[in-house]
Structure 1
Amino acid sequence: MKLKSNNLKRQRLTLSDGDFIDLDWAFAKKESTRLVVILHGLEGDSKRSYVLGASNKFYDHGYDVVRVNFRGCSGEPNIKYSSYHSGATSDLHEILEMIYSQYSYEAIYLNGFSLGGNVILKYLGERSDIHTAIKAVSVISVPCYLAGSAKEIVKFKNFPYAVNFKYYLLKKLRQKQLQFPDKISVKEINKIRNLIDFDHAYTSKAHGFEDAFHYYEQSSSLNFLGNIDRPTLLINALNDSFLSHECYPVKDAKENPDLFLEMPNYGGHVGFYGKRNYYTEIRSVDFFSKY
C-alpha cells in the first residue's frame, strides 16, 4: 500500500534522555488545521498496512497525518538499552509537546492500534494536563489488560503470531546485547521461550519494573479509563484472539460518558477489512468529524 500524499517528510525528534524517535509526516493537499497522530502496535512501524490505510483515509478527508515510529522501529536501532513498551507514555508526551510548539493546529486527534492504543489510553487517563488541542481519540484492538492479553498470546491458538513476535523481538534484543553486554547475556536471551519470558528478561528490567507482571499491572490502560475526559472511541472485536475478557471494559464505558466502546463480532486483531476501507478507518473519520 502506498501513501496518497506526495508531500511527505521524516522528522527526527531528539528526546529528553538523548534517544530519538522518527516521525513520518503526510500533509494534505490544502493547508490543514487538523492533525491525526497515529501510533502502531507491537513491532510495527509507520509503513504497516493498517497505519498506511488509516493515513490515507484521513488524508482523503483533509487531515495532516504524522505516523509515529516507536524507538527502534524506524529501521535504525535506538541509542538506549531501553526502547518502547505498552505503558511508555512519556515519549508520546514529548511528541505532542513538540507539535504544540512547532505547529499551529487547531485540532489534534490521536489514533492508535493495539500497543499504541494502550499507550494513548494510559496517557489520557494518567494526566490532568491534556492540551486543549486534543479533541478526540480512536483506538483499535487494544489489550487494555496486559496480563490477560499476554496469557492469550502465548496460547496455542496464537502460535503463528507468537512465533513472529518472538523472532523480531529477539532479533532486536540480540543486537542490544552486543551494544550493552553488561545489561543482558546471551544465556539469558536463549532462555526466552515466549512473550512473557521476553517481558521478564528485557521489557521489565530495562524500564524499571520488578518483572513482567509488575510491568503489566502498572502499564495496563484499564487502570486509567475512568479518568479520560476526551471523546474516545475504543473498538475491540469479540473474536480478537489476543484479548482476554477484561479487555472489553463495558462497565468503564457505562460510567464514563467520554468513553465509547464498540465490540463488533468480527474483526480479529487489527483486521476490520471491508471492500474498499477498513471498518475502523470509516468509524474513526466519522467519530473525529464530530469534534
Structure 2
Amino acid sequence: MPLIPSNYNPPHLFKNGHFSTIYAGLVRKVNGVHYERERIETPDHDFIDLDWSFSKSESTKLVIILHGLEGSSQRPYIIGSAKIFNHNGFDTVSMNMRSCSGEPNKQFRTYHSGATEDLEVVINHIVKQDKYDQIIIKGFSLGGNLTLKYLGEDREIPKHIKGAIAVSAPCNLYGSMLEIHKLKNKVYANRFKRNLLEKLRQKQQQFPDWFEGKNIKDIITLKDFDDFYTSKAHGYIDALDYYEKASSLPYLQNIKTPTLLINALNDSFLSEKCFPKDEAIKNDTLYLEIPKYGGHVGFYDKNNQYYNEKRSLNFVNEL
C-alpha cells in the first residue's frame, strides 16, 4: 500500500517534538470518561485489569486500547482515545498490562513489548462474550509494537477484529534502544528507569531468592534493566535476544488485518527502521502515515482532541 500523506500541522510550539511529547505526558488533562474495572485471570494464575468505558447507546463495536511502557489506563492518551470513541458509538476497554493497574501482579514476570500472549487472553475473553461484532485494537508505543506483532504472528485472528491502529510504535526495538540512550532522550530514559526500578524492588520483596547474588545497583541504563530482568523473566537469553524476538518489524509483512501505523518523523524514540516504508508498500493492508510532527504520542490538536484520535476514528469508520 502506498504511504499515506499526512496533513497534520500543529501550532508552532508543538512542532517541537520534545515539547509535544512532554506536554502530552505531563500537562494534558482529559475528563469525562468513567471506567468500570474488570479483573480477568491468566492461564498462569496471574491477573490483568481491564477498564471499560461505554458509548451512551448500546453498541456492538469495541476498541481495545493498549498503553506504552510504564503506562496505564489512566494516561491522558488512553483516556483521550476512549473519549472520542465513546462519543462516536464505540465501547472501549483499556488493558492495564501486568503490574500496571496500581497493584503488583502475582508472578515474577510482568509485561514486555512482545507479550502477545496476554493480549490474546484479553481478546479471547472478549470474543467469548459474543457481544461485539466489530473489534478494533489501538496500541501506543510499546502497546503499538504489541498490536502489530500480535496481528503478524502465526495465529488465527478472530473474525471480530476488523482493524487496528498503532501510534508511535517502536517496530525495531534495538534501534529504539539505541535512540533512548542518546543524550537527547536522557530525561525520558531516567524517568522510565526510575519507575522500572521501583517495580523491580517490589519483585525483590516478592521473590527474594531470585535476587541472591545479584545487585540492582548494577543497573545503570535501560538496556542493563533488560539484561538484568526483562529478558530473564520472560524467557530470552539477554537484552539483544529480547529486542530481536519481540520486535514487530519482521511480522509486518504477514499482517492481513487493515492496520494504520502513525509514527511521527520527529519522534526522538524511533530509529530509521521504525518507519517501515518497504513493508507498507508491499502489504495492501498496512497503511503507514509519517507526520512531520507529533513527537512521541504527542499529536496535539485543537479542542483537546489529538490528531491521532481523530485520525483513528476516521480510519475505523472507513473500514
TM-score by length of 1: 0.98
Residue 286 of structure 2 is matched in structure 1 by 259
Contact 1:39 1:67 (8 Å CA) reproduced: yes
Is residue 190 of structure 1 aligned with residue 239 of structure 2? no
Q: Which moved more, 1:30-39 or 1:8-17?
A: 8-17
Is residue 250 of structure 1 aligned with residue 247 of structure 2? no
What SS class does the counterpart of residue 66 from structure 1 fall into?
strand
Is residue 287 of structure 1 aligned with residue 315 of structure 2? yes
Contact 1:136 1:230 (8 Å CA) reproduced: yes
Q: Which runs of 4+ in 1 moved over 2 A?
A: 1-6, 184-188
Residue 32 of structure 2 is matched in structure 1 by 4
Summarize the Cα distance change of 1:157–1:207 in structure 2 as closer, same or farther, 3 Å threshold.
same
Letter matched to residue 75 of structure 2: R
Contact 2:179 2:269 (8 Å CA) reproduced: yes
* Superposed displacement of residue 3, structure 1: 4.7
* Superposed displacement of residue 60, structure 1: 1.2
Residue 190 of structure 2 is matched in structure 1 by 163
What SS class does the counterpart of residue 108 from structure 1 fall into?
strand
2:205 to 172, 178, 182: 178
Residue 260 of structure 2 is matched in structure 1 by 233
* Superposed displacement of residue 24, structure 1: 0.1
Letter matched to residue 64 of structure 2: V
Contact 1:177 1:185 (8 Å CA) reproduced: no
- Ranked by relative contact order (alpha carbons within 8 Å, sequence separation 6 or more), the top structure is 2
Identity of aligned residues (%): 54
Per-residue Cα deviation, 1:85-144 (whole angstroms, up to 9, x for no partner): 000000000100000112410100000000000011000000330011000101100000
Per-residue Cα deviation, 1:36-94 (whole angstroms, up to 9, x for no partner): 00000000000001001111011111100000100000000000010000000000001
Residue 42 of structure 1 is matched in structure 2 by 69
Letter matched to residue 71 of structure 1: R
1:88 to 115, 120, 138: 115
Is residue 222 of structure 1 aligned with residue 244 of structure 2? no
Residue 58 of structure 1 is matched in structure 2 by 85
What SS class does the counterpart of residue 179 from structure 2 fall into?
helix
Could you tell me how far apart the structure 1 residues matched to 2:60 and 2:103 are? 31
Could you tell me how far apart the structure 1 residues matched to 2:217 and 2:315 are? 46
Residue 275 of structure 1 is matched in structure 2 by 302
1:10-49 mapped onto 2 (5 Å cutoff): 10-49=37-76
Is residue 202 of structure 1 aligned with residue 237 of structure 2? no
Structure 2 gaps of 5+ residues are 1-28
Contact 2:33 2:79 (8 Å CA) reproduced: no
Is residue 70 of structure 1 aligned with residue 101 of structure 2? no
Could you tell me how far apart the structure 1 residues matched to 2:211 and 2:114 are? 22
2:178 to 147, 151, 154: 151
Letter matched to residue 300 of structure 2: Y
Letter matched to residue 318 of structure 2: K
What SS class does the counterpart of residue 139 from structure 1 fall into?
strand
Contact 1:38 1:67 (8 Å CA) reproduced: yes
Number of equivalenced pairs: 290
Letter matched to residue 102 of structure 1: Q
Contact 1:3 1:55 (8 Å CA) reproduced: no
Letter matched to residue 82 of structure 1: R
What SS class does the counterpart of residue 87 from structure 1 fall into?
coil
* Superposed displacement of residue 275, structure 1: 1.2
Could you tell me how far apart the structure 1 residues matched to 2:213 and 2:287 are? 45
Contact 2:72 2:101 (8 Å CA) reproduced: yes
* Superposed displacement of residue 186, structure 1: 7.9
TM-score by length of 2: 0.89
Residue 124 of structure 2 is matched in structure 1 by 97
Aligned-residue CA RMSD in angstroms?
A: 1.1
1:121 to 148, 155, 163: 148
Contact 1:4 1:59 (8 Å CA) reproduced: no
Could you tell me how far apart the structure 2 residues matched to 1:183 and 1:125 are? 34
